[in-house]
Amino acid sequence: MTQTLKAWFSDLPKAVRILIFGLGAVIILLIPRFLTSSYIMGIICRILLYITLAGSLNVINGYTGQFSIGHAGFFAVGCYTTAILSSNYAWDFWFTLPIAGILTAIIGLLVALPTFRMTGIYLSIVTLGFSEIIRLIALNWTGLTGGPLGIKGIPAPQFLGMNIRRAGDYYYIFLLFAVLFLLVTNRVLKSRIGRAWISIREDQQAAQSLGVELVKYKAMNFAYGAFWAGLAGAIYAPYINYVDSNTFTLDEGFNILSMAIIGGMGTLGGPVLGSFVVNILNELLRPVSAYRLVVYGLLIVVMMWIRPQGIIGASDSMLADDRTGADLLERLGLKKRRTA
Amino acid sequence: MDYAISILVNGIVQGSIYALMALGYSVIVGITGLVTFTHGEVMMMGAFASFYVFELFGSNILIGAIGSFIVCGILGIIIYKVCYERFLDAPRHIALICTIGASMIIKNMAQIVFGPNQKPMFGIFENQLIKIGPVQLSVLQLVILAIVVILALGLSLFFSKSKYGISMRAVSQDKTAASLMGLNVNANALLGNVIGCGLAGIAGMLISVYYQAFQATMGGPLGMKAFSASVLGGLTDSRFAALGGLFLGLIENFGIAVSSASFRDIFAFIFLILILIFKPQGFSKKGGIKL
């Protein structure tokens, strides 16, 4: 479906395409002017934040077929880095950003390095454990992270002399980074590196025999994903204004994971859609918020049964379950499956 | 010296519970050939099942063990039907993600149904100490050790002598060849999953009785420990998995002795990382599972 939409779009005359892009950009930029409700702006900011987070997870899970599930840990590292540097050491927000990203990438790399020789599950468990341990460290290292009290009053970032405080202002920062993430990742995926990642996902042994250095490219991939998660955390810190370890439980990691899985893995658009769907669902389920993660769990299981690659995931990859073609009835067990 | 011995004893007892978790994990992974994320949640359900069994039928640890084995075995059937049956020959990550979804459902439903707070467990045995030379054991510790040893020996006998055990081993080695020999791969994988989940249930009961407390969110760290322990056996070899569990218990208790109890879960992680650095395939004869 996305393919036909893309084809239809590229068939349009150039002027029309530019017009559509321009109109879209203007509308997106003017959203905070029309929607002044801070509640709705809050939701939109979350959606944009999670586009970067779920997207960076998708770079790891959807493009090299490794399965990281502790993304909340990297989010936490970025968040705490900015919070500590800007409130304890009075660093400027914009200087803490690259440090948060790079530090997260280095820590992620150190944690994941022993698993690159193995496949799949080992990375999942190590990242799961890492995410929980970061939370424990944040909870217990009172001198650095404030322990259970957290860090309060993180200074607002300044831009051209004005303090960014309202959700309507943060909207532009989140938007900037979501767009930056999508553009940069798009370029990376079309480069030699991105093609190497995809080849690892499709067939690790074939990729290796064609000269793709597995450990090197897996490491680059993981560091890249962790870097963006760290950046997302760094922006989140002044936005939320208060960081404590309860923000980064395993449930948060599963929340991010469900966005990538439900929206679709292996495409740039998948996590964007996933972020919209899950965050809006989140608001709809607010009256029964205890059931939120049950619903996500159900959605994940249902998605695996009928469309493993996610709503707009990469259908032409190994993420899709193509044993029996795309026959929905067979998947659901309503029709007997052909046996090989 | 006495202090060191008591840490050693605590480590062995706790390690034997971890060994039971790891046994269940390696049985599941070995026989279905697919990994699971639901193991911790199954243990949590085992703890809750035993709590209600104790409440209904009185505090007898054997009845509790049977009750949690049955409940978790049934849970194992459901998990198998939802997460594995359709995906035995699919790309592996699908079953993996499916178990993540299932564990989210179980954990959060448990939080809703049973409440999120920590609950006290019944005291099954009186706090009586038995002295064997310089070693001091409580009755509870002795019973835990006995249960784990009996279950491990029983499992080992089951896999080496019984018809079902042998056919399950055949399935774990090569599914296609096993099905050509007339074995029902599906039924064997289901049985393996039930046994693994049942053992996890008993382990969950033991750990909640040992700590005198349990809660709906206890599954996550436990699942990670079961995994870390079974990595020593290449995820499939149950004997080395059990050994890994024992090591893990010892490392954890000595680690807590030199640092603080709030860092308990970190040691399992360090253990896992160290094995992955130095012996990533584990000590299994088959060279570990190809995942």
Cα gap A90→A85, rounded to integer Å: 6
In the predicted model, what is the mean pLDDT of residues B169-194?
A: 85
Q: pLDDT per residue over B106-122, tens digit each?
A: 999 999 998 888 888 88
Tokens of residue B253, six digits? 């208790």
Q: Quote the tokens at residue A15.
A: 């002027």
- The whole-number pLDDT of residue B289 equals 47
* Averaged confidence pLDDT in chain A: 84
Q: DSSP alpha helices (H): ranges in A113-164?
A: 121-140, 142-145
pLDDT at A324: 45
Within 10 angstroms of residue A286's Cβ, the number of other Cβ atoms is 9
> Does residue B150 form part of some domain?
yes
Is residue A78 scored above 70 in pLDDT? yes
Chain B residue with Cα closest to A65: B93
Asked if A234 and A79 touch (Cβ cutoff 8 Å), the reply is yes
For residue A215, the chain B residues in CB contact (below 8 A) are none
Share of chain B above pLDDT 90, in %: 24
**Which residue is listed with tokens 């968040």?**
A79
Looking at the domain assignment, is residue B240 inside a domain?
no
**Three-state SS at A325:** strand
DSSP B259: S
Tens-place pLDDT, residues B142-173: 888 999 999 999 988 888 888 888 888 888 88
- Check: CB of residue A229 under 8 Å from CB of residue A81: no
Number of folded domains that form chain B: 1
**Which contiguous run of DSSP H or E holds residue A158?**
strand A158-159
Residue B1 predicted with pLDDT over 80: no
**d(C-alpha A245, C-alpha B216), whole Å:** 19
Q: Would you say residue B7 lies in a domain?
A: no
Residue A326 reports pLDDT greater than 70: no
- Token output for A211: 């000269």
Higher pLDDT, A105 or A29: A105
Least-confidence region, from A57-66, A255-264, A311-320, B35-44: A311-320
Interchain CB distance below 8 Å, A125 and B272: yes
Contact across the interface for A297 and B280, Cβ inside 8 Å? no
Q: Is the predicted pLDDT of residue B195 greater than 60, yes or no?
A: yes
Residue B71 sits in which domain range?
21-218
- CA–CA separation, A89 vs A98, rounded Å? 16
In sign, the C-alpha dihedral spanning A192, A195, A200, A204 is negative
Asked if A257 and B112 come within 8 Å (Cβ–Cβ), the reply is: no
Mean pLDDT of chain B: 85
Looking at residue A334, its pLDDT comes to 57
Query: Of A303 and A165, which is predicted with more confidence?
Result: A303
Subunit contact A257:B100, Cβ cutoff 8 A: yes
Answer whether A308 sits within 8 Å of B94, measured CB to CB: yes
Domain assignments of chain A as residue spans, ordered by start:
38-331
Question: Are the CB atoms for B21 and B29 separated by under 8 Å?
Answer: no
Sign for the CA dihedral angle at A103, A104, A109, A112 comes to positive
Kindly state the average pLDDT of the residues B51-67. 88
The pLDDT tens digits of the residues spanning A210-252 come to 888 888 999 999 999 999 999 999 989 888 888 888 888 888 8
Q: What is the dihedral of CA A267, A268, A274, A276, to 10 degrees?
A: -150
Residue B287 confidence class, pLDDT cut points 50, 70, 90: very low
* Residues B260-266, mean pLDDT to the nearest whole number: 79
The answer to whether B248 and B229 are in contact (CB under 8 A) is yes
Confidence band of B61 (pLDDT split at 50, 70, 90): confident
Which runs of consecutive H residues, i.e. helices, occur in chain B?
2-32, 39-57, 61-79, 92-114, 139-161, 163-173, 175-180, 185-211, 219-231, 238-258, 264-278
pLDDT attached to residue B291: 43
CB A314 within 8 A of CB A93: no
- Contact in structure between A53 and A270 (CB atoms under 8 Å): no
Quote the pLDDT of residue A340: 41
| Closest residue by Cα to residue A236 from A39, A35, A57, A77 | A77
pLDDT digits 0-9 by tens, B78-113: 999 888 888 877 777 888 889 989 999 999 999 999
Give the sign of the dihedral formed by CA B24, CA B26, CA B29, CA B31. Answer: negative
B223-246 pLDDT tens trace:
888 888 888 877 777 788 888 899
Count of Cβ atoms closer than 10 Å to residue B55 Cβ: 10
- Fold (CATH) for A38-331: ABC transporter involved in vitamin B12 uptake, BtuC (1.10.3470)
User: Among partner residues A114, A129, A291, which is closest to B112 by beta-carbon distance?
Assistant: A291
Query: Of the candidates A271, A195, A190, which has an alpha carbon nearest to the alpha carbon of residue A228?
Result: A271
One-letter amino acid identity for A93? Answer: F
- CA A176, CA A164: separation in Å to the nearest integer? 14
Residues of A in Cβ contact (< 8 Å) with B220: 128, 132, 250
Chain B closest CA to A292's CA: distance in Å?
A: 9
Query: Span B180-195, mean pLDDT?
Result: 88
- Rounded to a whole number of angstroms, the distance from the CA of B233 to the nearest CA of chain A is 13
B174 contacts B183 by C-beta, under 8 angstroms: no
Residue among B25, B276, B279 with most chain A CBs within 10 A, to mutate: B276
Taking an 8 Å cut-off on Cβ atoms, the answer to whether B102 and A297 are in contact is yes
**For residues B198-205, average pLDDT:** 92
Return the DSSP state at A339. P
Chain B: residue whose CA lies nearest to A136: B263
Question: What is the predicted pLDDT for the residue at A111?
Answer: 86
Interatomic CA distance for residues B29 and B4, integer angstroms: 36
pLDDT of residue A222: 92
* More reliable by pLDDT, B76 or B280: B76
The label of the residue with tokens 């300044």 reads A158
Q: What is the DSSP letter of B81?
A: I
Separation between Cα atoms, residue A94 and residue A238, nearest integer Å: 11
**Residues A259, A196, A198, A9: is their CA dihedral positive or negative?**
positive
| pLDDT of A293 higher than 90 | no
pLDDT of residue B282: 73
Share of chain A above pLDDT 70, in %: 92
CB contact under 8 Å between B272 and A126, yes or no, is: yes
A137-194: per-residue pLDDT in tens? 888 888 888 878 888 878 777 777 677 777 777 888 888 899 999 999 999 999 999 9
